[in-house]
Amino acid sequence: MNEFFAPIDDIAFALKHSARLEELAQIPAFEHLDPEMVRDLMSEAARFFADVVSPTNRIGDEIGAVLRDGQVVLPDGYKAAYDAVVEAGWNRVSAPEEHGGAALPFSVGTAIIEMYGASNMGFAMCHGLSDGAIHAMEAHASDELKELYLGKMISGEWSGSMDLTEPQAGSDLGRLRCTAEPQSDGSYHLSGQKIFISFGDHDLTDNIIHLVLARTPDAPAGSRGISLFLAPKYRLNPDGSVGESNGIKTVSLEHKMGIRVSPTCVLSYGEDEPTVGWMIGQENQGLMCMFTMMNRERIFVGNQGLAIAERAYQQALDYAKERVQGRAIGDELGPGKDSTIIQHPDVRRMLMTMKAKIEAMRGMLYASAADDDIATHHPDAGERLKAEARLALVTPVVKAWLSDTGVEVTSLGIQVHGGVGFVEETGAAQHYRDARIAPIYEGTNGIQASDLTMRKLRLGDGAVVNGYLDEMRGVVSELDARPDLKELAEGLRAGIETLARSTEWLQERMGVEARDIAAGSTPYLNLFGAVAGATALARLAVAAVEDKSGEWSETYLENRVTLARFFIQQLLPQALGNEAAVKAGSGDLFAIAPDAL
């Protein structure tokens, strides 16, 4: 009941029509990409993760990561699984060729990460964090640091971590106290403590490369005085091999409700011996450098929401097809026979809700990954800037809406199982427990909502979000132009115009009524996510009607239209009620005194 196999048809369809692989293949950086070979690649990846990684999921939850004699140890089988991932090269699909990667689009790598996360969400975090660290180093590290570290990080011989949070700081990084003292050789000695450091220590690789936020002497107060440093767990010998300890100590592990195999560490630096670090980027520009990594990680967290939702859905679907209970209304069976629960309308509604939301999530995620590819590699500067702006706008939505929806879908998965879903032995509860962290880390979803309304709606003086709304309206025009899809146009149009009115209401109050904007931020993000998800499904419905490749069956293509119709006509209207909450202001939120709450 805990088996997982990636949905190849769905992934290939979204890569073709949401990520627009054929268009990406026209970019010179991806001239080696053969879109027709992608299905074969996905099929091989699906087989690998089903056979090698998925079986590790349950033991990871039951045993988890353990701190033993100062060293974090993962359960039996994890080192072999990690080595198999590295040997097969699944961790470097989108990495640059000059450092040993396959240089395929990030959108293709995103599909691989989805399979990895669905197979074992906690385990996949190791490579997800390494990818973010690599991304930050590619953008900001010196050539010398790149030469020393990038090759082995991309190969998977070494892993990476992001060391941000401190006990007194939480999400307010301006309160960081970790210090960095300059040394005569250009290095720095780091001292202090960090908490909630995912994969801050483990026994999978020979070295762990920590990207650490710290303050240099006389740095300005607050976030303006933060710098970024690279500090390996073990120092390097002159020949680049792993040497002695670098004074990074694992103080303790957190005991979590989910992703238990992902070691969440409390780390100290320079406590017993110096922790030597090297600055990445410019002094006091660390937060800017780290956001290069964090924005990549936010897309990764959205991917986690999708991945764990897919796994929960597959298990719920299998159970619903097998579990016999009661006589479903309209199910014509012989005397004394009961129906499988999938024949009951309420169970079918839950499964359709799960499936439609998963396809909406996948469409949004892959389109955003393609924007990253265009922003990074397109030869035309104007196209790069447009894609970069669009990606900046939707990144908080991808992180928050997909991770919140992952929690919702995994909760529905338990509900489909009924009472046995609440029992740990079925495995359904683990998916919910694992999913619940995603709305919290990499910036809580409330922070993502504030980022969307307070910052991202201002991009280009509002031109970026208005352009995004116009792109959505273009999809409505495509629906209107097709008699077989016209019924979808009215509902989607209503959603887009509701979002447009809410956007205008917020824009009119910028700089004047900040508290009212903040109060409406989460309802606005929820509205934005639902409308963007509906639009993603509508695009896939148009593609299903137009696709004549023969790669998918007629039934499969017809079902894309059904899923879009279900979402737009039955799920989207529920989200449109957020407009009233967006515009309600902050009055009632603060009308009751804290002592009376």
Which residue numbers are catalytic?
A: 442
Quote the CA–CA distance of 453 and 580 in Å, as a whole number: 16
- Cα-atom radius of gyration of the chain, to the nearest Å? 24
The string of DSSP letters for 356-418 reads: HHHHHHHHHHHHHHHHHHHHHH-S-HHHHHHHHHHHHHHHHHHHHHHHHHHHHHHHHHHHHHG
Report whether 226 contacts 242 (CB < 8 A): no
Coil, helix or strand for 355?
Answer: helix
Please report, as a single letter, which amino acid is at residue 251. V
For residue 260, what are the CA distances in angstroms to 151, 393, 505?
29, 32, 43
The sign one gets for the Cα dihedral 317, 320, 321, 327 is negative
Coil, helix or strand for 506?
Answer: helix
DSSP letter at 219?
P
CB hemisphere CA count around 352 (13 angstroms): 21
Write phi, then psi, for 324 (nearest 5 degrees): -105, 130
Which among 234, 229, 149 is positioned nearest to 188, based on CA atoms? 229
DSSP letter at 20?
-
Quote the CA–CA distance of 174 and 190 in Å, as a whole number: 17
Query: How far is CA 369 from its chain centroid?
Result: 11
Report whether 367 contacts 537 (CB < 8 A): no
Report whether 75 contacts 261 (CB < 8 A): yes
Please report, as a single letter, which amino acid is at residue 535. T
Q: Write out the E strands in 122-198.
A: 158-163, 179-182, 188-198
Quote the CA–CA distance of 442 and 455 in Å, as a whole number: 17
The sign one gets for the Cα dihedral 74, 79, 81, 86 is positive
Report whether 479 contacts 492 (CB < 8 A): yes
Beta strands at 207-214 and 227-232: parallel, antiparallel or unpaired: antiparallel
- Residues 6 or more apart whose Cβ sits within 8 Å of residue 406: 304, 305, 306, 307, 308, 309, 361, 435, 438
Residue at token pair 């029992």: 423
For residue 334, what are the CA distances in angstroms to 215, 337, 406?
75, 6, 39
Residue at token pair 């939505």: 397
Report whether 498 contacts 439 (CB < 8 A): no
CA angle 396, 124, 68 (to 5 degrees): 120
How many other CB atoms are found less than 10 A from the CB of residue 324?
Answer: 10
Which among 401, 421, 511 is positioned nearest to 458, based on CA atoms? 511
